């Protein structure tokens, strides 16, 4: 479990139009916020990513094009729901570099022969060994002043509370948003039941079922579309990435945001596409490596993301180095659970999945148990997770 009290602590361990796809095919143009054309250059990187990190990539691409290595690299960018984006690349939409909300969306491309099976290994500056340059935690976004005093997952089960979160069938952020309450309820029940993992799993699923069927009636396709629905006045609370909450506050939305008592470490991996090459493999690899550089880490943090060193190390050197207004935008955390925590528990709970010739661990195990074809959450959503 991860525990912490400071704004950036994540310790290692136990008007509104929904953003659709923005894609510039080779030869098109993609502009940064100040109007500078970032598509020009003798090298080309086609970036396909999930919807939420667009502001971060705008800042990072601008920084990369100021370096000697990146100044002659042009970018075409596509943003959308993580699962949908992954499936598009699997159907051979042009892509040189992908950044998805969760690992299984990259695993799909490994199975399709489009991403090398060793995509997480030997990346300069990546101390996590997971090819995760940035991430976040699950946050509550409420109406201004948090009028219904929503601070933990049990609060969201109160009669009449309406929750906005995406559909896990299409959105990676939806899976993270559901992992947070599941983990919080599971580990609390595990303590209450003196280590009875099966009972804890049953208790957590019972509460997740109540959460989904009783309080989640709007199910947008992506995290950004969920944000748009909340901005339009739907719901009492939006489940979102902390970085999305920070962006809303910066844009002047009249909201309050906080990290619930139990939250979850969100890991957003990146991978070079090695099959169906459209652009420049060397340019894509060079840009991927830059994502883990100190300059890029500062740029990620300036846009509200928790860069790799702050996400995994238990300290927050990058966030702490920001100007006060940016640093203070990060909210305190208490219990921060992770895929590693759940994988460890599921290894004992589901030996048929965790052992043998096709043994699973980490994300593949958690995904199979909760979000796979026969997964528990898939069943709660009527087979559509």
pLDDT at residue 171, as a whole number = 82
Residue 4 in domain: no
Give 62-102 pLDDT, tens digit per residue.
999 999 999 999 999 999 988 899 999 999 999 999 999 99
| Confidence at 3, pLDDT banded by 50, 70, 90 | low
For residue 223, the enclosing domain spans 137-265+335-380
Q: Domain of 158: which CATH number?
A: 3.40.190.10
pLDDT at residue 4, as a whole number = 53
Q: Is 80 in the same domain as 194?
A: no
Q: Is 142 in the same domain as 130?
A: no
The pTM for the full model equals 0.87
Query: DSSP string covering 253-308, please?
Result: --EEEE--SEEEEEEE-EEE--SS--S-HHHHHHHHHHTTSHHHHHHHHHTT-EEH
The token duo for 98 is: 């992908």
pLDDT at residue 154, as a whole number = 98
Q: Is 367 in the same domain as 255?
A: yes
pLDDT surpasses 60 at 363: yes
- Rounded Cα distance, 113 and 116, in Å: 7
Q: Is 151 in the same domain as 207?
A: yes
pLDDT surpasses 60 at 11: no
The token duo for 213 is: 């069927």
Give 234-273 pLDDT, tens digit per residue.
999 999 999 999 999 999 889 999 999 999 999 999 999 9
pLDDT surpasses 80 at 15: no
Domain count, the chain: 2
Q: Is 126 in the same domain as 58?
A: yes
Tell me phi and psi for residue 99, to 5 degrees: -135, 115
- Find the mean pLDDT for residues 44-65: 95
Nearest 10 degrees: CA dihedral of 267, 15, 303, 94? 60
Report the chain's mean pLDDT, rounded to a whole number.
Answer: 89
pLDDT at residue 383, as a whole number = 61
Closest CA to 330 of 311, 312, 304, 308: 304
- Find the mean pLDDT for residues 172-179: 93
**For 317-322, which contacts have Cβ atoms below 8 Å and span 24 or more sequence positions?**
319/7, 319/8, 320/8, 322/298
pLDDT at residue 7, as a whole number = 47
Least confident window among 21-30, 287-296, 361-370: 21-30
């Amino acid at each position: 479990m991860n525990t912490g009290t400071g704004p950036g602590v994540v310790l290692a361990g136990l008007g509104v139009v929904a953003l659709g796809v923005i894609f510039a095919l080779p030869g098109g143009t993609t502009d940064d916020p100040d109007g500078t054309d970032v598509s020009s250059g003798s090298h080309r990187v086609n970036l396909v990513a999930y919807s939420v990190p667009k502001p971060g990539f705008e800042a990072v691409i601008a920084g990369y094009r100021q370096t000697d290595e990146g100044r002659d690299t042009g970018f075409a960018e596509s943003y959308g729901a993580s699962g949908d984006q992954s499936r598009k690349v699997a159907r051979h939409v042009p892509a040189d570099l992908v950044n998805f909300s969760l690992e299984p969306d990259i695993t799909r491309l490994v199975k399709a022969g489009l991403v090398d099976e060793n995509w997480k290994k030997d990346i300069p500056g990546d101390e996590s060994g997971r090819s995760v340059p940035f991430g976040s935690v699950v946050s509550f976004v409420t109406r201004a002043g948090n009028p219904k005093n929503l601070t933990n997952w049990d609060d969201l089960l109160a009669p009449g509370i309406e929750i906005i979160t995406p559909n896990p069938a299409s959105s990676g952020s939806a899976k993270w948003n559901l992992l947070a309450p599941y983990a919080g309820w599971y580990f609390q029940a595990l303590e209450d039941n003196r280590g009875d993992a099966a009972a804890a799993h049953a208790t957590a699923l019972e509460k997740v079922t109540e959460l989904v069927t009783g309080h989640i009636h709007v199910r947008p396709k992506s995290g950004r579309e969920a944000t748009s629905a909340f901005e339009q006045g739907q719901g009492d609370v939006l489940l979102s990435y902390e970085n999305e909450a920070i962006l809303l506050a910066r844009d002047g939305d009249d909201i309050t945001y906080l990290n619930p008592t139990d939250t979850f470490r969100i890991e957003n991996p990146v991978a070079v596409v090695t099959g169906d090459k459209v652009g420049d493999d060397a340019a894509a690899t060079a840009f991927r490596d830059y994502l883990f550089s100190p300059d890029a880490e500062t740029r990620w943090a300036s846009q509200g993301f928790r860069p790799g060193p702050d996400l995994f190390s238990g300290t927050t050197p990058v966030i702490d180095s920001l100007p006060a207004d940016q640093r203070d935008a990060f909210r305190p955390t208490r219990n921060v659970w992770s895929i590693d925590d759940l994988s460890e528990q599921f290894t004992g709970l589901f030996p048929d999945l965790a052992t043998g010739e096709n043994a699973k661990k980490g994300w593949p195990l958690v995904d199979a148990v909760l979000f796979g074809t026969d997964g528990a959450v898939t069943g709660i959503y009527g087979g559509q997770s």
